Structure 1
C-alpha cells in the first residue's frame, strides 16, 4: 500500500516536470521572429527556475540571447552552462535575495523595446525576491513575512500584503521593462490566479494598500507590524498600470491531480485548503466512506497557525492530524494516508511530508511521544520520525503546491 501511494504521488510530481512544460511552450514564442537587432533576456525565478531555464536555453539555440539569470533556493542551484545562477533564501527572504532582486531590476531595465524578456516563474519566487518599496528595509519585509507565516495566512492574503511592500511584485516586471515580457508560469497556487503566483511579477496586483491593510487587521497582525509598513499601507495609492501581460500557465496542481487520476486514483471533492485541522477532519470524513482499493487524490495547500517552536511543515502536520482524527473517528485498520510538498520540501527540515497508517500513533507512543502534545507544539517531524512516517525525496526541481493520497486496503 505504501508503495502504491508513493507511485501515485510520483506520478503527480512527474506531471509538473518544468523542463518538458517549458519545451512544449517555446515553439509558440519563437514563431514570431525578433525585431531587427533584438535579442532575448531570460530570467528564471523560483524553485523550478533552473530546470525551466535549461529547457529554455535548449529551445533558444540559434537565437540571440543577451543574458540568462536564474534565481532559486538551495538544493536547486546547481551551475547551468550559459546562465548565471544565484541562490536566494526561502521561505525567509534574505540578503542574497535582495541582491538577486537588484540584478533582476538591472536586467529588466537593460532590455530595449526591440528585445524580448522571457520570464520563467515558479513557486517560491515571492520570498526569494525581496525588493523593499520606498521607505522600507529588508528587515521590515522579514518581519512581515515571519508574522504572516506564524498567523496562518493563506497564499492569497500573504501575497496581497507582499505586493504593496515590494517594487517587483504586482506587475513590477512589466513596469520596469521596455521590452515585451513573455512569462511561462508554473503554478503553486490553488485556482491558478496569475496575480497570486509568486506575487504576480508579470500580472496586475490583487488589490491595493487599503485591501492589504484590511487583511492585516483581519489576521490580527496590524498592530504588530513595523510602523514603516503600516505607513506604506495607509497611503492613498491608485492601482498601478502594468500594461499588457503575456502570461501562459504551463503547469499546475490541477494537472498533477489529473496525472494521479490517470495513474489509478480518484479525484476527491475536498481540496487541501484552509486550516490544517479542519482539513484533516474533512479528509477523515471522506476516508470513512472511501471504497476499498480505490485511492483518493487531493491537492492544494493548507494553512498552519504556529503556536509552538517545534520542527515540522504543513504536510507533516496534516498527516499527523489525520492519524489522530482517524483514531478518534474509528477509521480502523488497513489504510494509509500520505501528504507531501511537490517540491520535495515541507518546512525547514529535510522531509517532504508524512505517510501514516493505523499503527503510526502507537509507534510514537512506544517511544514516549504524545501525538497531541507534538501537535500543540507544531513538532510533527520527530513524532513522524519515531513511526518511520516521514517522506524524504530531496528537491524535486518543481513546485505545484501539495499532493496527498488516501488508500484503504481492498
Structure 2
C-alpha cells in the first residue's frame, strides 16, 4: 500500500505544480507583453485569492514600474512581500477582515485615473476573502447568506450568481469602481468549465445573472424564507441596468484541466491511465458512486490509474467537521469496504491545500480505512451522517495534509488499483 500512496501523492503534486501561478503568469506575459500606457499612466497591481502571494511576487518582477500593489489572500498563505501591501480575508466564511479587504480594494480602484491600468491577478477563494455588501446589507447578512449557500448543495455557478447580486465588488463591481481606467485581469481558474464570471465571483467580468434569477434559485433550493430579511428586500427591488459593466481584458492562465493533463503525464509509465471525468461535480454521494462505477469497470491487465477533477458539494445535515474531499474519501472508503477487493487506494484533495474549515487538503481511502475507524473505537456510519469526515479520517490516519500550496484550481482525485 505504501507504493500506491507514494504514487497518489506524486500525482496530486503534479497537479499542484502544473497550477503554479507564478510560472503561468510568467509564460503569459512572455508571449503577450502588456501594451504601453498613455503618457503619465500608472500600472497598479491587485492580487486576489489563494494564489495572490506567488502571483504578486512574480508580477512585481515582471512589471517593475508598478506604482501600487495590494494582495488579498487567506491567512494560511500570508507572507510579507517587499513593495506590496498584503492583507488577509477569511475563508470560506467572510468576516470583518474580508470586509476590510473589500474596502481596501475599492479605494485602490477608485484612486485610478483615465490613463492608469489596474492589473488584477485573480484566483479562487476571492469570493469570501474580499467582500463589500450591497447597499442596505450588512456583513452579518452576507455571512449568513454564505453559510446558507455552502450548506445548500447548489452548484458553484448558482452560488456565485447569488453572491454577485449581494456585492459591490463581484460580478464586475471592481470594474465599475476602477472606471475609466483600463483593467487587465490574469485569472487562475478554480471553476469547472472555466466560466470567468464565476472565478472569485467575477470581479472583472459581467455578472452571471440578475436579481430575479437569484430569487428563483433561492426559492427552488428552499433558501428564500431562511435568508436575512435585508437580503430578501434587496433582491426583490427593481432590477438595475446590469449590461453597463465597463470593458476589461480577461485572460485565463491556468485551470483544473491543465492539472489533470499533468497528472495523466506523470502516471503514464507503468499504468493504464484514464481521465474519467473533468466534471466530477454535484452531490458528494453521487460522486462517490461515479468513482466506484469507474473503478469496477476498469480492466486490470495492469495497474490502473483513474483520474478525476471537479468540485463536489455536500449537503450539511450534521454538526461535524470536514470538507467535500474528506467526505468523498470517507464515502469511497465505505463503498470499498462493501464492494471492492484487492489492492486499491483513492485520494481526493483540494489543490489549494485546504478542504473546508480544516487543516487538511483532503482524504485518502484504502481497503483498511473503514475498519481502522472502527478499530479506533468510532462509528464511521454515525460520523458520516454527522458530516464528521475529519474525525473519521484522522482516526484512520487517512487525512491528506499538505499545507497551503499557493494555488487553487479546484479539486483532483486519483483512484489506483492493482490486479488482484
Structure-2-length-normalised TM-score:
0.95
CA contact (8 A) 2:51 2:124 kept: yes
Q: Which aligned pairs between 1:87-106 and structure 2 lie closer than 5 A?
A: 87-106=88-107
CA contact (8 A) 1:290 1:408 kept: no
Name which of structure 1's ranges 372-381 and 270-279 shifts more when overlaid on structure 2: 270-279
3-state SS of the aligned residue for 1:268?
strand
How far residue 31 of structure 1 moved from its aligned partner, in angstroms, is: 4.4
Cα separation, 1, equivalents of 2:209 and 2:274:
36
Q: Which aligned pairs between 1:380-395 and structure 2 lie closer than 5 A?
A: 380-395=389-404
Is residue 2:357 matched to residue 1:348? yes
Cα separation, 1, equivalents of 2:149 and 2:88:
23
Is residue 2:149 matched to residue 1:148? yes
3-state SS of the aligned residue for 1:10?
helix
Cα separation, 2, equivalents of 1:87 and 1:139:
18
What is aligned with 1:2? 5
Deviations 1:246-270 (A, max 9, x none): 0000010011001111112421136
Is residue 2:305 matched to residue 1:295? yes
Picking from 378, 385, 410, the partner of 1:376 is 385
How far residue 222 of structure 1 moved from its aligned partner, in angstroms, is: 0.3
What is aligned with 1:339? 348
What is aligned with 2:44? 41
How far residue 327 of structure 1 moved from its aligned partner, in angstroms, is: 2.5
Q: Which aligned pairs between 1:133-282 and structure 2 lie closer than 5 A?
A: 133-177=134-178, 178-237=180-239, 238-264=241-267, 265-269=273-277, 271-282=279-290
CA contact (8 A) 2:378 2:392 kept: yes
CA contact (8 A) 1:315 1:353 kept: yes
Cα separation, 2, equivalents of 1:405 and 1:271:
14
Deviations 1:287-341 (A, max 9, x none): 111233121111110000111111111000000001112233x211201000001
Is residue 2:308 matched to residue 1:306? no
Q: Which aligned pairs between 1:118-129 and structure 2 lie closer than 5 A?
A: 118-129=119-130
3-state SS of the aligned residue for 1:295?
strand
Deviations 1:68-95 (A, max 9, x none): 0000001111000100000111111111
How far residue 399 of structure 1 moved from its aligned partner, in angstroms, is: 0.4
How far residue 245 of structure 1 moved from its aligned partner, in angstroms, is: 2.4
Deviations 1:84-109 (A, max 9, x none): 00011111111111111111111111
How far residue 347 of structure 1 moved from its aligned partner, in angstroms, is: 1.4
Provide structure 2 residue ranges, at least 5 long, that are not aligned to the other structure.
268-272
Structure 1 residues 167 and 183: CA distance shift in structure 2, 3 A = same
Cα separation, 1, equivalents of 2:278 and 2:176:
38
What is aligned with 2:270? none
How far residue 153 of structure 1 moved from its aligned partner, in angstroms, is: 2.1
Structure-1-length-normalised TM-score:
0.97
Cα separation, 1, equivalents of 2:131 and 2:104:
12
How far residue 29 of structure 1 moved from its aligned partner, in angstroms, is: 5.5
How far residue 387 of structure 1 moved from its aligned partner, in angstroms, is: 1.3
What is aligned with 2:21? 18
CA contact (8 A) 1:26 1:56 kept: no
Cα separation, 2, equivalents of 1:179 and 1:28:
24
How far residue 382 of structure 1 moved from its aligned partner, in angstroms, is: 1.3
CA contact (8 A) 2:277 2:307 kept: no
Structure 1 residues 400 and 269: CA distance shift in structure 2, 3 A = closer
Cα separation, 1, equivalents of 2:274 and 2:287:
18
CA contact (8 A) 2:164 2:171 kept: yes
CA RMSD of aligned residues (A): 1.2
Provide structure 1 residue ranges, at least 5 long, that are not aligned to the other structure.
none
